Chain A
């Protein structure tokens, strides 16, 4: 019924007539042809693996050290199953229980530093502290660059976009070496700025005691925070610049005629009008930072003692190091459960999947 109103948009839909089922089919027929390749491929390579993952999370898939068996390699060199192969067994909610209750035996198996709830807490804190800096700096720098009459604006814009342009893996590895305790540029720079000739040897990634007393965050968190601030604000500046340029100048003129000062104009005009653009951008930033594998894995590797591990790096280690595929699958399901509310809120705020035809 409603769909016939927008007959222009629905190219394939002709006149509405007949039963509602027939009507639905008529609407579906043409788009289905275009969707079919994507649907088939996604069913095979995306949704089927996700379903399989949920099944895996209830099994002991992986290397079972206690039995000297494995469920992974069904094919040996000759094509036959190797002697230590056995099919995966259903173990119910065992994997979930091990993760959520930090089962001591399970934690010992992972090297003794695993703590699910601390990881989740750190992951959330990591996300929000980063995105907070990104948005604040991004907006401020965009406003700075938007000052009329500023010299060299184009040059600055060209320079400021550089962190967005470089591959994340390169940025992470370069910053890892910059924070090296013996040869890193950061320590050398600090030595340069400090009086005296003593070499600075801050052990960015190994120092255990928190640098700020009372806040239980290791030094490596701050090193990665600096890196990720460097990495993240240009995107927010780009978004904010786009939004700033759509604010009519007359608004500021009218405001200054009414006697509004610069700060007043910033708080009352600029910020409220930036909000519609910045909120979705911040949401994108939250999801990206929550899943930011490169910076954590290549810089601290989760150290010291697993204090800066986030969920995606832990999920990778469960496979890459521990070869516990069933546990990793359960862990990934938990990641999805954390992300789904974030996604739903994002979707609600940005109204991304709603019809564009409003």
Chain B
């Protein structure tokens, strides 16, 4: 049927097709470039809009025209927002610190408790494993908003004294520091300590020290309602963050090759030795990624803090952002809103881009498995 000539002919035609070709015809390249540029423009449009608005020096209450770089661009709006973000008596530093405490604390403790559970799910077969995993995964499907009613009611009926809080902080600090050392020490011994080791271990130890400092400076009031505190919001957040961390870490640990562990078993290593000396060091990049995803969730958490917190000194960045938009926008100039949005997004966006390769790998893990 097919003489060599026609095959050759077909092949040359095939190289022009969109999927198998090596060199595109000029009009195909042009068409593809136009499409790609159009898509890029739609992606960049909101981002450029917000950037150009934030550097608008006229400090317009409302923008009325589209300008990429407004005349006489300046960073006044940033300074204004850094100085006094909302009408509430709370500084930008305070808002950032509160968001950091919440996001950092929740993701750190979710990791610390989640990693051992993830190891158990990944490496052991035991009765009830399937059911426990379904229990964990089902929680990650339920929206966090759907558990706000019982969490509010339960935390609202708990009052804590400053003394009890100090004890809790010290225990948490000990856990965090121990976790940090657990991550750093074996890696140092084996000489495999990388950036993520230092990041995770450093954050854990730093957070532990911050907790000790918090324990040494207890709140002024005698008793406080747990719901109306960052600690209460943190507890409510970990209710959803822990199952997510377990699930995500399990996905990563599944991909760690088992050969090393098999060799260690032959050498007579116990399960504990394998976990602390082999799996944990290898899982550190996964800890970094999962920790970051948890952090990103906590960094902009809105509805729990909005519902739970009433004292301005506890407010978070997301709450302040909501104050600047919608029905609360009132007199806030949009240049400040824009500057504030960028200040919130920039840190997480940069870290996301740095970790992009690992994050994307994790997001697609579940898909590739099926």
Contacts and interface: CB of A to CB of B under 8 A. Distances in A.
B189 interface: no
A168 interface: yes
Contact of B370 (A37, A152, A351): A351
Contacts of B345: 166-167, 170
A208 interface: no
Contacts of B154: 48-49, 52
Given A31-B126, A315-B145, A166 B307 contact: no
B36 A298 contact: no
B101 to A, nearest CB: 17
Contact of A11 (B24, B133, B153, B274): B274
Nearest to B131: A353
Q: Is the interface of A mostly helix, strand, loop or mixed?
A: helix
Given A49-B239, A312-B146, A239 B364 contact: yes
B129 to A, nearest CB: 8
A13 interface: yes
A34 B117 contact: yes
Contact of B325 (A177, A239, A325): A177
A63 to B, nearest CB: 12
A252 B132 CA distance: 44
Contacts of A265: 17, 19-20
Interface string B128-160: 111011111111011101111111111011010
Contacts of B254: 356
A35 B17 contact: no
B79 interface: no
Interface in A292-318: 293-294, 297-298, 301, 312-313, 315-316
Given A235-B363, A242-B360, A277-B368, A11 B124 contact: yes
B261 A11 contact: yes
Contacts of B121: 35
A276 interface: yes
B341 interface: yes
A120 interface: no
Interface stretch (B59-67, B86-94, B200-208, B211-219): B59-67
Contacts of A8: 258, 262, 265
Interface in A32-86: 32, 34-35, 37-39, 41-42, 45-50, 52-53, 56, 61, 72-75, 79
Contacts of B141: 287, 339, 342-343, 346
A356 B122 contact: yes
B20 A325 contact: no
Nearest to B353: A165
A35 B302 contact: no
Interface in B322-370: 322, 324-327, 334, 337-338, 341, 344-345, 348-349, 352-353, 356, 360, 363-364, 366-370
B32 A144 contact: yes
B243 A46 contact: yes
B210 interface: no
B364 A238 contact: yes
Q: Is the interface of B mostly helix, strand, loop or mixed?
A: helix
B235 to A, nearest CB: 6
B14 interface: yes
A215 interface: no
A173 interface: yes
Contact of B18 (A56, A239, A262): A262
A252 B18 CA distance: 10
B283 interface: no
Contacts of B149: 53, 56, 61, 315, 319, 325, 328-329, 332
Given A49-B239, A312-B145, A28 B126 contact: yes
A169 B296 contact: no
Contacts of B113: 37-38, 41
Contacts of B66: 185, 188-189, 192
A277 B223 CA distance: 53
Contacts of B367: 239, 242-243, 276-278, 280-281, 350
Nearest to A4: B125
A61 B148 CA distance: 13
Given A167-B300, A238-B360, A350-B369, A35 B120 contact: yes
B79 to A, nearest CB: 20
Contact of B17 (A32, A145, A261): A261
B40 interface: yes
B46 A175 contact: yes
A325 B152 contact: yes
Q: Which of A146, A170, A243 has the most CB of B within 10 A?
A: A170
Interface stretch (B5-13, B69-77, B165-173, B190-198): B5-13
A10 B125 contact: yes
A74 B154 CA distance: 11
A189 B63 CA distance: 13
B80 interface: no
B123 A9 contact: yes
A22 B18 CA distance: 62
A79 B223 contact: yes
Nearest to A171: B46
Contacts of B271: 11-12, 30
Contacts of A12: 124, 271
- Sorted nearest first, the 7 A-B pairs with minimum C-beta distance are A256-B14, A38-B117, A291-B143, A332-B146, A252-B20, A183-B62, A34-B120
Interface of A: 3, 6, 8-13, 24, 27-28, 30-32, 34-35, 37-39, 41-42, 45-50, 52-53, 56, 61, 72-75, 79, 141, 143-152, 156, 158-171, 173-178, 180, 182-183, 185, 188-189, 192, 230, 234-235, 238-239, 242-243, 249, 252-253, 255-257, 259, 261-262, 265-266, 269-270, 276-281, 284, 287, 291, 293-294, 297-298, 301, 312-313, 315-316, 319-320, 325, 328-329, 332, 335-336, 339-340, 342-343, 346-347, 349-357
25 contacts: A13-B124, A35-B121, A37-B113, A38-B117, A45-B236, A47-B135, A49-B147, A75-B159, A143-B19, A144-B32, A167-B348, A171-B46, A173-B325, A174-B50, A176-B326, A252-B19, A257-B7, A265-B19, A280-B367, A293-B143, A293-B303, A325-B153, A340-B138, A343-B138, A350-B370
Given A56-B153, A163-B43, 19 more contacts: A27-B127, A35-B132, A37-B117, A38-B117, A79-B223, A148-B20, A149-B23, A152-B36, A159-B40, A167-B299, A178-B46, A182-B62, A183-B334, A230-B43, A239-B364, A269-B19, A325-B153, A347-B137, A349-B370
